[in-house]
Amino acid sequence: MAKRTYSDARRHFGQGAWTLASNAHLTGFITGQIYTGPLKTACVPGLNCYSCPGALGACPIGALQAVIGSAEYKLSLYMMGFFVLIGTLLGRLVCGWLCPFGLVQDLLHKVPFLKKIHTFPGDRVLRYLKYLVLLVFVIILPLTLVNVIGSGSPYFCKLICPAGMLEGGWPLVGLNPDLRKTLGNLFIWKNVVLALTIFSAMVVYRPFCKYLCPLGAIYGLFNRVAFYRYHLDASRCISCGKCRKACGMAIDPVSEINSPECIRCGRCRQTCPTAALSAGFKGPAPTCPQANVSSVKGEAL
């Protein structure tokens, strides 16, 4: 059997198409004005800054903070329902296919002049940081640090989110001279965060997704129960380790299938020489004849 290789081209095309579709307010990039029409009341699945001049929908993390920090509302059934719906349907497929900032990180990692780091000591521990970011900056701080009228700020968007600076901050500042006059230390800080994210994305695959993204943390909680799931046919698996080496998120698809870290990119499935891994809304693929698997095992040896 011929070797199976993986290609990100189809996924990148899908990511790019979705990014363009969800940021189709093209006049915003000319006028510097944010779209405020009726579509903006609905959330898009991925991390896409509300303040991006082209954004047609709202960022789910930004919307969640707006509700939590509101003087009138602390809980939104719409937001809870949105996360449950998208999470139970797709899990972190959103991260791999529908997140504009995920595409940015994917492309940055293809920059060839820096040595890539697949994993490092402490990598697994650092991945819990995104849950802390979700708890502290998205929930606790907007809920507790409020002004005189009881409203909290969107602290994650304000202090951490590099997507906000790239998609919203830079375009708005570039297109609005009056806005440039108001820049201060916060703008400098956000640029430092973005610069560090860009540099680290060229070295480590999707560092923001792995260590900081609260949206990925939420969707990851649904990975094991989502309708779209990965399946392993143990009778086909020859334990060659190719899927583990291909995984950009540095997980083992055999022992950690449907891990909260899996972004459903499909690299493991494309690389597997025996098609032991499958994915979809349906059940696992039918078991192949043992004779075919045996021949592949012989080639692997």
CATH number of the structural domain spanning residue 250: 3.30.70
Number of domains making up the chain = 2
Q: Which domain holds residue 257?
A: 229-280
Q: Is residue 276 part of a domain?
A: yes
Do 233 and 169 belong to one domain? Answer: no
Residues 178-194 have a mean pLDDT of: 95
Do 211 and 239 belong to one domain? Answer: no
pLDDT confidence bin for 183, thresholds 50/70/90: very high
Do 215 and 267 belong to one domain? Answer: no
Do 213 and 252 belong to one domain? Answer: no
Question: Of the candidates 222, 249, 267, which is a domain's last residue?
Answer: 222
Do 151 and 252 belong to one domain? Answer: no
- Is the pLDDT at 39 greater than 70? The verdict is yes
- Is the pLDDT at 272 greater than 90? The verdict is yes
- Is the pLDDT at 294 greater than 50? The verdict is no
Q: How far apart are CA 301 and CA 297, in angstroms?
A: 6
Contact 93, 185 (CB under 8 A): no
Q: Torsion-angle region of residue 257: left (phi > 0), alpha (psi -120 to 50) or beta? A: beta
Q: How far apart are CA 26 and CA 49, in angstroms?
A: 15
Q: Is residue 258 part of a domain?
A: yes
Do 12 and 103 belong to one domain? Answer: yes
Do 77 and 171 belong to one domain? Answer: yes
Do 217 and 253 belong to one domain? Answer: no
195 versus 78: the higher-pLDDT residue is 195
Do 148 and 247 belong to one domain? Answer: no
The answer to whether the predicted template modeling score (pTM) of the entire model surpasses 0.85 is yes
Residues 109-131 have a mean pLDDT of: 95
Q: What is the pLDDT of residue 4?
A: 55
Q: What is the pLDDT of residue 1?
A: 43
